[in-house]
Amino acid sequence: VKEYLNEKKLLKDKKIERVVFNEITKKAVIFGIDNPRQIEPLLVDAYMARRALDYLVGFNISPILWTKLPGSKSAGRVQSVALKLITEREHEIELFNPEEFWTLSVNFSDDNKNSLLASIYQLNGKKIEKFSFRNKNEINKAIDEVKSKKFEISDISSKVVSRNPSGPFTTSTLQQVSSGRLGFGASRTMQIAQKLYQGIEIDGETIGLITYMRTDGTNLSKDAISSFRDYIKNEFGKEYLPESPLNYSGKKAKNAQEAHEAIRPTDIMRAPNTLKKYLSSDQHKLYDLIWCRALSSQMESAKFDRNTITIISSEKETVCKASGSVIKFDGFLKVIKDNKKDDEEDLLPEMSKGPVNIEKLLDEQHFTQPPPRYSEASLVKKLEELGIGRPSTYASIISVISTRGYAEAINKRFHPTDRGKLISAFLEKLFSKY
């Protein structure tokens, strides 16, 4: 717009500034207008570079595809790489040879009928690795050896371990978690987030509930952090508040421009349960996810008591270990329902040092698994790790791969179609330079 107005000579003696705001709230818009900035040439250059690549790939390579592989629609700068990842993974799966391995655990009991399941850590002075037992014969030999030994509990130790909260959402982490927790695809997540950002009508006023949802930054504004900290102190108490604000900007994605802050509620006082009647159920689920993740990112770590019982054989050559953890202080887990297993308290029975008997030995056969096919979430994660594409484009790129018939989603995993494999091989052979 500025260039165009310049050509028309309409900008003589006029001061040009750029106004930026990351959330559609009265306060943010007024603040943006009060604090304008100049157009940033570096960000404009980044855009020009992307556009040049789009032209090179889209305008020069796509037409070759149309003539050589009829029915193929396009080769885009990001979609071609995404397709390459999917076809490479398929190739790995086709070449994969499963390997057999066995695991052994032992059920011990003491004189008070307490029983304990322990895994073998060391056998006859040799540390047990994943492939220590490769077949039924080897595991049977190990079982006979363990059976012939006498065991006792040699050590019961306890230490406190912490688990830290995750940083607030960026576009890609929001798409990944929303896919895992809520089962929303990337484009559905983005559509709901767009609505929450643009604004929801609450008591006759339209209010933007979250900050801008296309971002690769994990930083939060100072205002937001201080309001989060007040909220944590008042709602949960001092012990849930870290001494100083937590900062997540060290964990940068490759090439992140960080032009916007992380995704967070515009006002933490609007707790999800107070908005239920204004939001659809999907909107409420996503807002709840964003609200909890942002608030918990400024809370104290959770602390667990991790107990380990070590059982050794009389000749000290064979060692078994059992461990369990009990939550000691819930910290950020008070807000976030985490699906990770270690929140369920795996309590170890009260046992004391001394001899124990073997109740039974449990051997299990396993086979190594091929690498999994990409889901929307893992594809987004991989593209971001490689620094390919921008957060705002992931959802549309993933849908392009499906709608053009280059890959199909079966059970939420991408399988490349024959056409997809062909295009990928074609591009790789003839345009590896690009």
Predicted confidence (pLDDT) per residue in 14-56, tens digit: 888 999 888 888 888 899 999 999 988 998 998 899 899 888 8
pLDDT for position 26: 84
- Which of 73-77, 281-285, 303-307, 333-337 shows the highest mean pLDDT? 281-285
Distance of alpha carbon 424 from its chain centroid, rounded?
Answer: 27
Residue reference for tokens 């030994």: 149
pLDDT at 249 over 80: no
CA distance linking residue 218 with residue 367, whole number of Å: 39
pLDDT digits 0-9 by tens, 366-411? 999 999 999 999 999 999 899 888 878 888 888 999 999 999 999 9
pTM of the model: 0.83
Helix (H, G, I), strand (E, B) or coil at 76: coil
* Nearest Cα to Cα of residue 78 among 54, 45, 61: 54
Helix (H, G, I), strand (E, B) or coil at 269: coil
pLDDT at 71 over 70: yes
Least confident of 161-165, 281-285, 335-339: 335-339
Q: What is the band of 350 on the pLDDT scale with cuts at 50, 70, 90? A: confident
Q: What is the band of 337 on the pLDDT scale with cuts at 50, 70, 90? A: confident
pLDDT at 339 over 60: no
Question: Tell me, what amino acid is at 121?
Answer: Y
Backbone angles phi, psi at 116, to 5 degrees: -145, 130
CA distance linking residue 115 with residue 96, whole number of Å: 40
pLDDT at 341 over 70: no
Task: Give catalytic status of residue 212 as yes or no.
Answer: yes
Cβ atoms of 81 and 97 within 8 Å: the answer is no
Catalytic residue among 212, 240, 248, 394: 212
- Which of 26-40, 242-256, 299-313 shows the highest mean pLDDT? 299-313
Q: What's the whole-number average pLDDT of the chain?
A: 91
* Nearest Cα to Cα of residue 117 among 375, 383, 361, 428: 361
Residue 83, Cβ neighbours under 10 Å: how many?
25
